[in-house]
Structure 1
Amino acid sequence: MPKGTVSSANRRTDIISAAIEVFAEIGYYRATTAQVAERAAISQPYVYRFFTKESLLVETLEVSWQRILHAFQRVIDSSSPDQLELGFIRAYEEIMTSHRSEILLQMQAQTIQDAPIRNAMRHGMSQVQQLVRDAFEQAGIADAAARTSDFLARGMLCNVAMAMEMPELMKKR
């Protein structure tokens, strides 16, 4: 691969990483591509070489959903059926800790009505739902669809507890 191509690919990744942080910190609507460029230590026109602001948010969301899907797939590949759900929980907890900004970004994006962003959110959530439901079904878990729904709902509560810094929401009684 030519040197410029590698550099461009790395810069694209740098822009996405910077955008995740900026959007999560100050919100999509308040954030500017100039702030993303500054965080990535590049010029604003260079950001526009790759993205519009909207396409940048869509790309950051795709990155965050792929992280969850890959983590869950690793659980499926390495867990016994009786440890599957616990494995998913631990994998998600790790993502919440190590990639907090991505989760905050997803939470914000849930309220954005722009079609490309809404589609990215729907697609990501649908992929996670399908992966979990299929894994539960293959593991022989009774009522896999309801268990999947409960699992996803609990994950949303985890997101709220993390965002609001209220771990007591997650304590089992």
Structure 2
Amino acid sequence: MSAEERRESVIRAAITEFARGGYNATSTEAIAKRVGVSQPYLFRLFPSKQAMFLAASDRCLADTRRVFSEAAEGLEGQEALHAMAAAYQRLIVDDPDKLLMQMQMYAAIAAAEASGDHEFGESARAGWLQLWDEIHLALGADLGGVTTFLAYGMLANTLTSLGFPVGHRVWSGFYPSAQPGA
């Protein structure tokens, strides 16, 4: 396996480990074990635990952007909105580590910012802004639409994180195409 392929394995493993344990509770040893490499080798691929976390955060946001982009391809306005909403719901149900990684990313950045480390969140903020821009374009530069879409997305994150299954009454306010069986 090449160094680049190994790096990809580390990013995937880091998403899983950080999603389940958060930044502070996840050891680089656990990531190395999941990949099947030594800790020293892990640090040849990434200079620090923070670099691994940021790479995992970047990948998580990039994967989410890709899901939205693919869902909205060739669509505009409300059709794009409904397609992206349904695709996101499938993503967080089918791959809950993506959702949990997002939540851990927000928590880790908030903790870092509170302690005065403002650089930690720069990469994630840049990735999130790129996500916002792409949704904004997909929805025809509708500021209200992008705000509503992202508000529903955060609600979906919260409901899923709290363990509410899709189809529970708390999901009833979602876009029709995001409803089970729609």
TM-score, L = length of structure 1: 0.86
> 2:84 — aligned with what?
88
> 2:177 — aligned with what?
none
* 1:165 counterpart (159, 163, 166): 163
Runs of 4+ in 1 over 3 A off after TM superposition: 114-117
Write the letter of the residue equivalent to 2:38.
S
> 1:39 — aligned with what?
34
Write the letter of the residue equivalent to 2:4.
A
C-alpha distance in structure 2 between counterparts of 1:117 and 1:9, whole Å: 24
CA RMSD after TM alignment = 1.8
Write the letter of the residue equivalent to 1:104.
L
TM-score, L = length of structure 2: 0.82
* 2:99 counterpart (96, 103, 113): 103
Alignment of 1:38-57 (within 5 A): 38-51=33-46, 52-57=48-53
Q: Sequence identity of aligned pairs in percent?
A: 26
C-alpha distance in structure 1 between counterparts of 2:14 and 2:24, whole Å: 12
Q: 1:82 to 1:106 in 2, by over 3 A?
A: closer
Write the letter of the residue equivalent to 1:7.
S
Contact kept in structure 1, 2:76 and 2:140, CA below 8 Å:
no
> How many residues are treated as equivalent by the alignment?
163
Write the letter of the residue equivalent to 1:63.
R
Structure 2 unmatched runs, 5+: 175-182
> 1:128 — aligned with what?
131
- 2:2 counterpart SS class: helix
